[in-house]
Amino acid sequence: MINPLHIATFLSLHKTRHFTRTAEDLNMTQPGVTLHLQRLERELDVSLFARRGKTMELTPDGETFLRFARKQQKAEKELRDSLGEDSPFCGECRITCSGSMATRLYPALLQLQEHHRELRISLEAAPDATAVDLIKKNLMDLGLITSFIEDPQINITRIGHEELCLALPAHHTGVWADLLSLGYIDHPNGAHYASQVLEKNYPREFSGFADLPQKGYINQLSQILLPVSEGLGFTVLPESTVDLFPDQKRICKASLAVPCRETLYLITKKHRPLPNRYQLIRSCIDSLLSSGTAAPRETNR
The CATH number of 4-82, from 2.60.40.10, 1.10.10.10, 1.10.3720.10, 3.40.50.720, is 1.10.10.10
Read off the pLDDT band of 291 (50, 70, 90): low
Query: Who's near 145: CB < 8 A, 6+ residues apart?
Result: 97, 98, 128, 131, 132, 264, 265, 267
Span 163-261 CATH architecture: 3-Layer(aba) Sandwich (3.40)
pLDDT of residue 296 exceeding 80, the answer is no
pLDDT of residue 54 exceeding 50, the answer is yes
Q: Are 27 and 10 in contact (CB under 8 A)?
A: no
Question: 262 or 236: which carries more pLDDT confidence?
Answer: 236
Name the segment(s) of the chain with CATH classification 1.10.10.10.
Answer: 4-82
Q: Are 96 and 131 in contact (CB under 8 A)?
A: yes
Task: Flag the least confident range among 75-79, 94-98, 102-106.
Answer: 75-79
Distance between start and end Cα atoms, the chain = 42
Per-residue pLDDT tens for 20-51? 899 999 999 999 999 999 999 999 999 999 98
What are the φ/ψ torsions at residue 217 (nearest 5 degrees)? Answer: -145, 140
Q: Give the integer Cα–Cα distance in Å for 61 and 218.
A: 62
| pLDDT value for 289 | 85
| pLDDT value for 105 | 92
Question: 234 or 300: which carries more pLDDT confidence?
Answer: 234
Burial label, 24 (beta-carbon count in 10 A; 0-12, 13-18, 19+): middle
Diameter of the chain measured on Cα atoms? 103
Q: Give the integer Cα–Cα distance in Å for 81 and 88.
A: 17
Q: Helix, strand or coil for residue 158?
A: strand
Q: Give the integer Cα–Cα distance in Å for 176 and 206.
A: 9
Name the segment(s) of the chain with CATH classification 3.40.190.10.
Answer: 91-154+266-300, 163-261
Topology adopted by domain 91-154+266-300 = D-Maltodextrin-Binding Protein; domain 2 (3.40.190)
Read off the pLDDT band of 99 (50, 70, 90): confident
Per-residue pLDDT tens for 104-148? 899 999 999 999 999 999 999 998 999 999 999 999 999 999 889
